Amino acid sequence: MDRAVRAHAGGDRRRCGDPDAGALSSSGGALLIAGTTSDAGKSMVVAGLCRLLARRGVKVAPFKAQNMSNNSAVTVDGGEIGRAQAMQARAAGLAPHTRFNPVLLKPGSDRQSQLVVRGRVTGTVRAGDYIAHRDALSSVVAEELRSLRDEFDAVICEGAGSPAEINLRATDLANMGLARAHHLPVVIVGDIDRGGLLAHLFGTVAILEPKDQALIAGFLVNKFRGDPRLLAPGLDRLAELTGRPSYGVLPFHDGLWMDTEDSVSVLAGHVVGIPTAPRGDQWLRVGAIRLPRISNSTDIEALAAEPGVAVRWVDDPAGLAGLDLVVIPGSKASVADLDWLRARGLAAAVAEHASGGGAVLGICGGFQMLCRGIDDPVESGRGAVPGLGLLDADIVFAVDKTLALHTGAAATGGLSGYEIHHGLLARSAAADWAGIGLRDGAIHGTHWHGLLDNDDFRRDFLTAVAASTGRTGFVVADDVDVPARRDAQLDLMADLLAAHADVEALLALLRDGPPTRPTVVAGRIR
């Protein structure tokens, strides 16, 4: 490893034989990447920095103190974390572990979330009483971050939402609360593609109290289209107003679409990914239902990576017209989302699609909805409710959550994936589907997330869908490698940072901590 790089990353140079070791702490450096909004690009910037540092030989780990997301993944220690942190761990060359995301909130409604601490469900919290949990959760966060800093040369932390949410400052564990507790330098990322970014960046700093402002090191512009020279005067003025630099302008790149963290980016009518021309003379048309409490929406990305497969999010019956395959994805509130399907007319539309020979795939909560009945005393407390009845099976919810990580062993037929669910199969008269679910003709259901990332399995499934729906001109590609595609995206993000950001300045923040507080130059900014 290059000593200069490791020193920049905050490693103890005494371990490298550097005689000038007294200037650095024996703990690894840490940096917080915050954002002006949700979906500003924090997750991908953290992943890109992890991959960039790992490629330089730096021992780096990701960290998100508290995440609120229904996109989650199972870890090697048998818990669950936000899927973005699993992706960031992959970028760093690490297996996903609960320490990378010690607190996870999984919303089941607008005011209530399942609380997952160190990978395990500890209860349910309401928005109004979350402050009662803050001290205990803060201790968990502090312990895990200290542990990571002791073990790794660098820890790249991701904020949650925006640090400007001052109404939540008293319970904040992931933004300025984390930065203040651990004296972390903060870089604010903003999505310029949405417009109004300069005001967002200025306002994010201006609304903070002075001690929080002092930790804001500077800014990173994300998703810029056009000539950066046109933006330069605005960034220069921003620096004058705030006393803080911009560390780079990252260009918009349409290759960065996999592993989305927020359901904010999962919008009805939107095409998933970038459809590419079919290998044969026909397309396969897929509609994924955008449930209100959708979970693990990333499951469908593998389908969108296939040539000739056009995947679109839908939320009304008209969106199902002309589709070959309808996907009902996972849900954090299966019974409530089943009610929504019926209220929107989608339940009847799915049944009509299936009766006409169309293929249907239900994943996790979507699988449960396809069954004849669901007995749920756990999530909804509703007890027995009728399902869609497309699979002759019944589901019963258990108090304890099933968490399983399948790693391609012989016991799972060589398939990889993971399970996160309360619902259990109580009865089935449907046919087995490859040992991972049930099927009835073109109707398929599984509790496995990540199943479609298995390339051969996905090709066989798409071939079967095309045959059952009469798409004889669709030819499945034999060279799409979805896991490699995910790695290529991480490399792409690292390359964009290397080419368009002042990486050495970011590494200096890891080494030196927050810069000296700027002088008062405008308004309330200090």
C-alpha span between 281 and 423 (Å, rounded):
41
**Which of the residues 364, 406, 444, 447 is marked catalytic?**
364
> What's the half-sphere exposure (Cβ side, CA atoms, 13 Å) at 435?
12
The alpha carbons of the chain give a radius of gyration, in whole angstroms, of 24
Q: Considering only the C-alpha atoms of the chain, give the largest distance between any 2 of them, rounded to a whole number of Å.
A: 75
Among all chains, which residue has been given the structure tokens 């539309």?
Answer: 349
**Structure token digits, residue 16:** 């490298």
Amino acid at site 170: A
Sequence-distant (≥ 6) Cβ neighbours of residue 52 within 8 angstroms: 494, 497, 498, 503
Amino acid at site 132: A
Contact 85, 62 (CB under 8 A): yes
Q: Which of 255, 326, 260, 334 is nearest to 294 (CA)?
A: 334
User: From residue 131, how far is each of 173, 211, 449 by CA, in Å?
Assistant: 11, 21, 33
Q: Which residues of 8-35 are buried (b: 16+ CB within 10 A; e: fewer)?
A: bbbbbbeeeebeeeeebeebbbbbbbbb
First-to-last CA distance in the chain?
Answer: 38
Contact 119, 78 (CB under 8 A): yes
C-alpha span between 383 and 478 (Å, rounded):
45
C-alpha span between 122 and 114 (Å, rounded):
8
User: Does residue 50 have an active-site annotation?
Assistant: no
User: From residue 17, how far is each of 2, 4, 13, 482 by CA, in Å?
Assistant: 12, 12, 6, 42
Alpha helix (H) residue ranges in 248-300: none
Sequence-distant (≥ 6) Cβ neighbours of residue 411 within 8 angstroms: none
C-alpha span between 453 and 73 (Å, rounded):
14
Which strand (E) or helix (H) includes residue 13? Answer: none
* Main-chain phi, psi angles of 332, to 5 degrees: -85, -10
Contact 370, 361 (CB under 8 A): no
Burial class (CB in 10 A: 0-12, 13-18, 19+), 227: exposed
* Main-chain phi, psi angles of 442, to 5 degrees: -95, 10
C-alpha span between 215 and 161 (Å, rounded):
17
**Structure token digits, residue 82:** 């936000």
Annotated active-site positions, please? 364, 449
